[in-house]
Amino acid sequence: MPLVTLPQFTETEAKIVGPLTFKQLIYALTIGMICLLLYTSLPRSIAFPVSFSCFVIAIFLIAMKKEELPLYAYILAQLKFLFSPKVILWGKKRTQTLFVGEMEIKKMGGEKIKLKKEGALRNLIENLETKK
C-alpha cells in the first residue's frame, strides 16, 4: 500500500493572491469598489481624501492581526463582549442540559403516570413520586 503524505498546518487559510487569503481578497475587492463609488459620486474636492482614508482603514482592518485574529474579527469580538449581557457565576455549578421526554412512573397503587418534564423539574418530580 503506498504511503500518503498528510497536509500539515491545516489551521491556516490558503493564500490565494500574494499574502491575501480568499476572505481578505473578497474584502479588499469590496472595499475597492466602495472607494471607487465614493470617488466617482462625491465632489472632486473631498472625493480623494474620503476614498483614500476609507481605503487605508480597510487595509489596516484586513491585514493587521491582534491576538492571532484579524483586526476586524478582534473589533467585532470586543463589541460583542461590550454589548452582550454578562453572566456571573459564583462557585462551582454544573450546568444541566434540558431534556424533554416522557417517562412512566408506577405508584404503589399500581397506576401509571406519564409525565413530560424538562431538566431539574424532571429530577424533582421523579424524586417526589418514587419516594419510599
Q: Are 59 and 20 in contact (CB under 8 A)?
A: no
86 pLDDT exceeds 80? no
C-alpha to C-alpha distance for 68 and 11, rounded to whole angstroms: 12
Tell me what pLDDT residue 98 has: 44
Beta bridge partners of residue 101, listed in sequence order = 117
62 pLDDT exceeds 80? yes
Q: Where are the alpha helices (DSSP H) in 64-118?
A: 71-83
Closest CA to 54 of 34, 75, 25, 29: 34
- Structure confidence by residue, pLDDT tens digits, 119-129: 666 677 777 77
Tell me what pLDDT residue 100 has: 47
The radius of gyration computed from the CA coordinates of the chain, to the nearest angstrom, equals 29
The reported pTM is 0.49
44 pLDDT exceeds 80? yes
- 25, three cell numbers: 481578497
Mean pLDDT of all residues in the chain? 77
- 58, three cell numbers: 480597510
Angle between helix axes 44-63 and 22-41 (nearest 10 degrees) is 170
C-alpha to C-alpha distance for 89 and 92, rounded to whole angstroms: 8
Tell me what pLDDT residue 101 has: 54
Distances from the Cα of 54 to the Cα of 5, 28, 87, angstroms: 44, 11, 37
Tell me what pLDDT residue 78 has: 92
